[in-house]
Structure 1
Amino acid sequence: MRVGAWTRRRSMWLDIGLATVAAGECAWSAAVFAFRQGLGTAAVVAVAVFGLIAGSTLLVRRRWPLIPVAAALATIPLDAGYTLLMIGLYTLGAYRPEGAAGRFAERRVMSALCALAIAETVIVSTLTLGTQQQDALRHGVAEYVLVILSVLVAVAISVPPAILGLYIGAKRRLLVALTERAEGLETELSLLADQAHERARRARMEERTRIAREMHDVVAHRVSLLVVHAGALERVVHKDPDRAAQSARLMGDIGRQALDELRQILGVLRTVEPQEDETGTTGTSTGSPTGATGTAGTSGAAAGLGSPLDGVEAALLSLADLPKLVDESRAAGLVVRYTLGGLRSALPAQAEQTAYRVVQEALTNVLKHAPGTDVEVVVAYVSGGVALAVSNTCPAADTAPAADRGLPSGGNGLIGMRERVHALGGTFAAGPTAEGGYRVEARLLTAT
């Protein structure tokens, strides 16, 4: 603010000084011209006042630069206003006013103004040779020489200021354009940075959701089975040692399976994708889970985390593993009827994994919320994909609620299933049936 105020004050005092000089030159030159032409005192005073007013127009040269030029062209016939003309032409070219005056700052119109000023100057000099150039004529200088000198002087006082003004104006406009462009680029870079930050944030959220879904799918089913078998073991340990031993073996198998799946996921989380260094070579590094999670904020890390995990699980989990999953649920006390229909066709690994996870989570929910009910699992291969449904009958009135069985529910199972199915462009529905049971349906249509 201080710099701007100081600049404005400096410009104001400069305009006052130029206006004072131009007004003095115009008033003196006009008065001398009138006196040499033999006009009366009143005429001399009048033209002097006119010259004074014309020179004072430089006070408004920055706002209305055309006014000093017009005033100079009006005073040239009085053989005055040459200083005013030079400053006016420079200002008109340098500041490029808006509106109608802006058209006079164009190069063609500036050329026309210069030609008019040259013509006026030459005409005035030619008409006043007898009164203005008496000494030169007495010394034998030819009249045509004086006319040529008048033309040269007229060109010198009009063309260079106009050219300089146009150059300064073009340079100033170029500087303004470059400044605006730099500001625009800075704004654009800021927007791009914000967009990149938002994309990174979304990638982090998607990856966190993905990891939470995978952990839930792996842990919830196995732990639910462990809790069910632990309860059965507690009840029959003294009554039926053989059955207790069988439950203990099942618990061990289930625990080992859970540990294997968790180990697979944690191994993927520890893996860092190979990155190119500045020399273009590729290096591979491994880091801690914290470091790997930190890099998952970028889209590249997110993509790198997704593919290996899908590959690992696809090798372990597919529709072919559903019979084993059904057997585990039967061993936990559920009465499960499994039906496989349709002409079996090859599906993408991700579709196989998603179908497996949907059935797994549905069976886990039955263990949590409706133990002892009859469950029906139907898997049917359809054109271009697979359809599946898991439904259970109405639980008995004496069925223990989930809280009493030590199987709390976080409400993430249905959300995870829906996200998995929708991610593949499929349809998902879940809700109670008219008979009081519950039904989960999913349909995955994918290309082979």
Structure 2
Amino acid sequence: MEPARGTGPEGRWAERLPSLGARGPLGRDVLLAVVLAALMVLVTAGTSALTPPQDRPPSTVEGWLLVLVAAQALALALRRVRLAACVAVVVATQVALVAVAPDVSVRSVAGFVAAGTIGTRLPAGRALRVAASVAVVEAVTTGAAAVLRGGGVDVVLQHAVSALLVWGLAVMVGIHLATRREHLRLVQDRADQLERERDARVRAAVADERARLARELHDVAAHHLSGMVVQAAAVEKLVGRDPDAARAGAAWLRDQGRETLDNLRQVVGLLRRDEGDALAPVPGVEALDDLVRTAGDLGDDVALTRTGTPVPLPPLADVSVYRVAQQALTNARQHAPGGPVRLTVTHEPGGVRLDVVNGPAARPASPARGEHGGTGLAVMRERAALVGGTLDAGPVPGGGWQVRLRVPVADDEGGRA
């Protein structure tokens, strides 16, 4: 989030100054010094004109006063590039003003601006020390100049107090402005950091949702469509020699297609979170019997064994076990067609274990056009990681393949998993 530009007096002046030739800190300070010099000359001349003739200083003194107030204001052009030189010129011209006319109290705004600059550009402690030193130097030198020109004690005190007030109060104002500016910068930096963190969280949430969508679509589509491909190949062979069996196979394909569409609608509905949609429950461990029965209808040699005492699983763990079993059956059908597949669900203390072991292929596997390989195994590992589980997959003796998933379950009922 960028700060708004052109808002407030500072923003408007920052946009207008370049058009006046004031570019960069030096250019802006030169413009400030020229404007202040012109104003101070006009104010000093106007004050002198309004003074009664008997109280007015000689014309030569008036000329020197105008020159000195102009020089003092012009010294502000160096306030951000040569601050020490600027302060030295301001103090020197103030001493000269007192020396020229000790009885005339002439004080331009240059001293206030220089003292404020010390407060904004130096650390607070150092700024106070520098301002105090400058005030003492000016008080002593102006007092000495007043004494040398015949001024009384009251005149000396007047210039000394003026120096202490100008440098003391103005530097405090400068420190306040610097502190406020730093606070606003920190607030802006914090706002920028919070916005970056928010954007990162949004991107992470979008990535997680995309990954979840990819897993669900892969599991649903790969399992159902692989079975439909197998059944379609069987129907193709039966069309000419066994029309009744071919019609039964086509009817199965129609029903399986409808089931696939329902599952895809379920996935999309879960992602959309439509309150009005009546969605079917997400399948879990209890639905493995239907999964095995459907695989048997396709001609696969699949068996399911359950051991241990079944306990309710958390929803995410429950669906993860089902999806891993579904994907393992799909992989076995694609890479080892006709081979026996054995599923074992073991409820053990602290977790649930799923073992899917398939034997070697009974017939050659059909080449999968456009298949890059490895996607199903990667999805299974992602599902295991989501529930804090582990998944191992690899060959077994005799040419088969095994997938083992273990999902931890919190012990919440007196030691029962």
TM-score if structure 2 supplies the norm length? 0.69
CA-to-aligned-CA distance 1:384-411 (integer Å, 9 cap, x gap): 3211111212225x513233xx795664
Q: Which runs of 5+ in 2 are unaligned?
A: 1-17, 39-67, 413-417
Q: Secondary structure at the match of 1:155?
A: helix
Q: Is it true that 1:437 corresponds to 2:403 in the alignment? A: no
Q: Is it true that 1:402 corresponds to 2:404 in the alignment?
A: no
Match of 1:387 among 353, 358, 374: 353
Counterpart in the other structure of 2:130: 105
* Residues 222-268 of structure 1: CA deviation (Å, up to 9, x unaligned): 11111111111222334344543443343233223212212222333
- 2:11 is matched with none
Number of the residue aligned with 2:170: 168
**Partners of 2:136 and 2:154 in 1: CA distance:** 17
Do the aligned partners of 2:339 and 2:361 also contact (CA within 8 Å) in 1?
yes
Identity of aligned residues (%): 30
Residues 186-221 of structure 1: per-residue CA shift (max 9 Å, x gap): 333233323322222222221112112111211211
Q: Distance in 2 between matches of 1:446 and 1:210?
A: 22
* Separation in structure 1 between the aligned mates of residue 107 and residue 184 of structure 2, nearest angstrom: 35
Give SS of 2:261's match. helix
| Aligned residue number for residue 63 of structure 2 | none
The correspondence for 1:247, drawn from 227, 242, 249, is 249
Q: What is residue 221 of structure 2 aligned with on the other side?
A: 219
Counterparts of 2:251 and 2:274, CA distance in 1: 37
When the two chains are superposed, the root-mean-square deviation of aligned CA atoms in Å is 4.1
Shift of 1:338: 1.8
Q: Residue 45 of structure 2 corresponds to which residue in structure 1?
A: none
SS of match in other structure, 2:152: helix
The count of corresponding residues between Structure 1 and Structure 2 is 350
Q: Using the alignment, how far apart are the partners of 1:226 and 1:101 within structure 2?
A: 83
Q: Distance in 2 between matches of 1:325 and 1:374?
A: 15
Change (3 A) 1:431 1:117: same
1:113 to partner: Cα distance:
5.0
Structure 1, residues 79-119: CA drift from partner, whole Å, max 9, x if none? 77969996797577434386998564345x56755774687
Q: Describe the SS at the equivalent of 1:3.
A: coil
Q: Secondary structure at the match of 2:303?
A: strand
TM, length-normalised to structure 1? 0.64
Q: Is the 8 A contact 1:72 1:85 kept in 2?
A: no
CA distance 1:168–1:267, shift in 2 (3 Å): same
Q: Distance in 1 between matches of 2:370 and 2:141?
A: 100
Contact 1:369-1:402 within 8 A present in 2 as well: no
CA change 1:157–1:74 in 2 (3 A) is closer
Whether 1:370 and 2:392 are equivalent positions in the alignment is no
Counterpart Cα distance in 1 of 2:162 and 2:96: 20
Deviating more after overlay: 239-248 vs 65-74: 65-74
Bigger Rg over Cα: 1
Aligned equivalents of 1:393, 1:219: Cα separation in 2? 24
* Partner amino acid, structure 2, of 1:3: A
Q: Is the 8 A contact 1:85 1:158 kept in 2?
A: no
Tell me the CA shift for residue 337 of structure 1: 2.7
Secondary structure (helix, strand or coil) at the match of 1:340 reads strand
Following superposition of structure 1 onto structure 2, how do residues 178-327 of structure 1 map, counting pairs within 5 Å? 178-271=180-273, 315-327=281-293
Q: Which residue of 2 aligns with 1:94?
A: 116
Deviation at 1:430, TM superposition (A): 1.9
- Cα distance in structure 2, aligned partners of 1:389 and 1:251: 29
User: C-alpha separation between the residues in 2 aligned to 1:384 and 1:419?
Assistant: 21
- Determine the C-alpha separation between the residues in 2 that align with 1:354 and 1:101: 66
Counterpart residue number, 1:425:
388
